[in-house]
């Protein structure tokens, strides 16, 4: 009887049911779209951070920035020999630790001993500046018209030839690239994990001090490097065993070599610039950070959340809009849809006074009338849920298909980033980096289940409005309206 009456009433009031369902569908669709876009923003930011941070890395430990006036920044110095052959090309390079701040390698072990640390690995970030060129000697040209007739036969009164040096000078090219020394025995942590080996292979665990290298694909293309060829760092030739491609954005370094080799060429034995840390769980990140800062003085700990605060540009702006305005707007529309559905249901009950009064006169209890109204409202809510989910999925698909490009600009945290892979420099400020990220709008199962819950809630709220009104009707109200 319940379902028969329910089906008949919904069929008879199709337009009213469609209006209620459409209102709920609008609110639910907006919630799905905003939620999916926010999820896409979060994933985009994660890609930006991974390009610097390394997959699985929760935080980095670098040396704390030195106080003002506590030692000037080292400047690169280049020295050239005086050669008789003016056409000889001269070349020299300088390997510099990024940020000029290092930690003892023993710091890696100390960090790994802290409670809540699952893994820790050290790395050394370097910048190599290579200068190539040649000097050209100038030519002295005498001024024949000067000093004619004077003593010395064309020389000035001081006995020196009159004239000037013309031509000569120097022409040098400066080539700068970055090198990252990686611990080949622990390659599942650190910035190299944010790249994929696309040609050749990665390092072997036994190549701790081997003269081998992995180069970034963009740098390999620029310098025409390939697997089997060599790249020179401070006079040492490294055989390229693999080519890597960054998953997103720029690579952490142009060239990757074993950590011991990096320490050797940089004259930084048993030194690292960065310790990459993986916490045992995401809930322990703040606790681990506090423990490291307390137990290992003279260090700066930077988490992914700290780095995320430095992300600006259209990605940050859009993320703030989605998280703020978008969520508030969707919540407001959803509340309005619920209220409209409830008011429409209550209004429909008012127009059915004669019907419900007659049913009560025939023996229907108030609870049965209320259940009937709630049942109709619940079906309207489920219909709105289906329409809303369909519209929300369509909207998310359109966003993903268009894939608008957002720009993420990464600035300095002021103490943890030093020009290199997420803090590779140890306390120096670094220049901003700009990355382009394609936005997607993934819809998760939890979002769909949430939409279903909203549809049911909308139906129940609307039914509660109408049911309360219907429960207050008396049979006498129906008799008054009988002509």
DSSP 412-435: --SSS--SSTTSTTSS-----EEE
At residue 424, the pLDDT reads 41
Same domain, 281 and 413: no
Residue 308 falls inside a structural domain: no
pLDDT tens, the chain, 483 aa long: 556 666 666 676 777 778 777 878 888 888 888 888 877 777 776 666 655 555 567 788 998 876 545 444 455 555 555 555 555 556 567 888 877 689 999 999 999 999 999 999 999 999 988 776 665 666 666 666 655 544 544 455 555 566 665 655 565 666 789 999 999 998 888 888 888 899 999 999 999 999 999 999 999 999 899 999 999 888 899 999 999 998 766 677 899 999 999 999 998 999 999 999 988 887 888 899 999 999 999 899 988 777 666 555 555 565 665 566 556 766 777 777 777 777 777 666 666 666 666 676 777 777 777 777 777 778 878 888 888 889 889 988 998 888 777 666 655 443 333 344 444 433 333 445 566 667 778 888 888 888 888 778 877 777 776 667 666 666 665 556 555
Residues 254 and 178 in one domain: yes
- 98 and 15 in one domain? no
Structure tokens, 285 = 């990140």
- What's this model's pTM, rounded to 2 decimal places? 0.56
Q: What is the pLDDT of residue 373?
A: 75
Please state the domain count of the chain: 2
Whether residues 20 and 164 share a domain: the answer is no
Q: Is residue 177 part of a domain?
A: yes
Let me know if residue 60 belongs to a domain. no
Residue 108 shares a structural domain with residue 226: yes
177 shares a domain with 72: yes
End of a domain among 270, 297, 324?
297
Confirm whether 94 is domain-assigned: yes
Structure tokens at 154: 């064309």
Residues 237 and 329 in one domain: no
Give the contacts of 428 (CB within 8 A, at least 6 positions apart): 65, 73, 98, 99, 100, 101, 418, 419
Last residue of a domain, one of 267, 297, 327: 297
Residues 110 and 209 in one domain: yes
- Same domain? For 349 and 429 the reply is yes
Domain that holds residue 433: 2-53+313-480
Residue 344 shares a structural domain with residue 383: yes
pLDDT at 364: 73
Gap between the Cα atoms of 107 and 301, Å rounded: 13
Q: Are residues 31 and 99 in the same domain?
A: no
Q: What is the DSSP secondary-structure string of 82-147?
A: --S-TT--EEEEEEEEGGG--EETHHHHHHHTSTTEEEEEEEEEEEEEEEEEEEE--EEEE-TTTT
Residue 421 in domain? yes
**pLDDT at residue 131, as a whole number:** 72
Structural domain contains residue 154: yes
Show which of 233, 266, 297 is a domain's final residue: 297
Same domain, 114 and 248: yes
Flag whether 465 is in a domain: yes
């Amino acid at each position: 009887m319940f379902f028969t009456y329910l089906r008949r009433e919904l069929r008879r009031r199709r337009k009213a049911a469609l209006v209620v369902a459409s209102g709920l569908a609008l609110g639910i669709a907006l919630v799905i779209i905003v939620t999916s876009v926010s999820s896409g923003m979060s994933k985009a930011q994660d890609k930006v951070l991974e390009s610097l941070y390394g997959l699985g890395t929760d935080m980095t430990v670098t040396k704390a920035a030195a106080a003002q006036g506590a030692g000037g920044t080292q400047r690169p110095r280049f020295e050239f020999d005086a050669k008789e052959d003016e056409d000889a090309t001269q070349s020299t390079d300088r390997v510099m630790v990024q940020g000029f701040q290092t930690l003892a390698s023993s710091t890696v072990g100390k960090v790994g001993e802290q409670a809540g640390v699952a893994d820790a690995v050290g790395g050394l970030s370097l910048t190599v500046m290579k200068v190539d060129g040649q000097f050209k000697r100038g030519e002295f040209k005498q001024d024949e018209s000067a000093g004619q007739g004077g003593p010395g036969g064309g020389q000035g009164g001081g006995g020196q030839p009159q004239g000037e040096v013309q031509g000569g000078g120097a022409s040098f090219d400066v080539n700068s690239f970055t090198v990252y020394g990686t611990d080949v025995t622990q390659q599942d942590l650190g910035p190299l994990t944010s790249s994929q080996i696309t040609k050749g292979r990665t390092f072997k665990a036994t190549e701790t001090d081997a003269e081998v290298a992995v180069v970034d694909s963009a740098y390999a293309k620029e310098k025409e490097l390939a697997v089997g060829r060599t790249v020179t760092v401070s006079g040492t030739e490294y055989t390229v065993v693999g080519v890597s491609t960054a998953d997103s954005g720029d690579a952490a370094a142009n060239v990757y070599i074993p950590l011991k080799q990096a320490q050797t060429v940089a004259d930084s034995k048993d030194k690292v610039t960065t310790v990459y840390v993986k916490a045992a769980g995401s809930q322990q990140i703040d606790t681990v950070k506090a423990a490291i800062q307390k137990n290992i003085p003279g260090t700066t700990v930077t988490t992914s959340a700290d780095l995320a605060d430095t992300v600006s540009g259209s990605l940050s702006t859009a993320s703030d809009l989605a998280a703020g305005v978008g969520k508030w707007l969707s919540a407001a529309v959803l509340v309005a849809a619920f209220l409209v559905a409830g008011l429409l249901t209550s209004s429909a009950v008012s127009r059915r006074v004669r019907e419900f009064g007659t049913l009560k006169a025939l023996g229907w209890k108030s609870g049965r009338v209320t259940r009937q109204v709630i049942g109709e409202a619940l079906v309207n809510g489920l219909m709105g849920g289906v329409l809303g989910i369909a519209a929300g999925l369509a909207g998310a698909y359109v966003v993903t298909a268009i894939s608008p490009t957002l720009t993420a600009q990464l600035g300095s945290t002021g103490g943890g980033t030093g020009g290199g892979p997420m803090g590779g420099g140890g306390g120096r400020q670094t220049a901003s980096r700009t990355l382009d990220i394609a936005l997607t709008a993934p819809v998760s199962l939890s979002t769909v289940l949430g939409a279903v819950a909203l549809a049911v809630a909308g139906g129940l709220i609307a039914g509660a409005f109408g049911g309360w009104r219907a429960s207050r009707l008396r049979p006498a109200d129906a008799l008054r309206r009988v002509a």
